[in-house]
């Protein structure tokens, strides 16, 4: 072998080593990137599951809120109806007490003293 061939072979060996190192580095990076992508996909899948659960819970909460609102409206209607009924009965009682003539059949006044007497009909 002459000196030129030895240098060429040495240069070829160095180039092959550099190419091998680059291929090894690229393979390492692709494997690392592949692992990162797999882990990212797993995380995204778990995130999607969580979002689905959250959406279901939100729908359930909305449904429960609507049911509770409907129940509250019915309860309020019942309360208002009962208050109106009580008010009407109170008005009737007041009218009966204030406008009715009072008849007293017996009254024991032996220990009572009447200082002033006012009798009238309230209108």
Query: Domain ranges in the chain?
Result: 1-68
What pLDDT was estimated at residue 97? Answer: 75
pLDDT in tens, 51-83: 999 999 999 999 999 999 999 999 999 999 999
Backbone dihedral region for residue 118 (phi beyond 0: left; psi -120 to 50: alpha; all else: beta): beta
Positions in the chain short of pLDDT 50: none
What pLDDT was estimated at residue 96? Answer: 76
Query: What is the reported pTM?
Result: 0.42
Task: Judge contact between 99 and 122, C-beta under 8 A.
Answer: yes
Identify the CA nearest to 90 among candidates 122, 123, 82. Answer: 82
Distance, in Å, from the CA atom of 88 to the CA atom of 96, rounded to the nearest integer, reads 12
What pLDDT was estimated at residue 63? Answer: 94
């Amino acid at each position: 072998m002459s000196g030129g061939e030895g240098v060429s072979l040495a240069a070829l060996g160095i180039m092959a080593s550099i190419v091998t190192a680059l291929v090894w580095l690229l393979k390492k990076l692709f494997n690392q990137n592949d692992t990162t992508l797999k882990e990212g996909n797993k995380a995204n899948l778990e995130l999607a599951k969580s979002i689905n659960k959250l959406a279901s819970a939100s729908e359930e909460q909305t449904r429960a809120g609507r049911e509770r609102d409907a129940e509250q409206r019915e309860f309020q209607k019942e309360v208002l109806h009962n208050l109106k009924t009580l008010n009407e009965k109170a008005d009737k009682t007041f009218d009966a007490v204030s406008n009715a003539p009072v008849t007293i059949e017996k009254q024991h006044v032996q220990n009572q003293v009447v200082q002033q007497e006012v009798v009238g009909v309230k209108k």
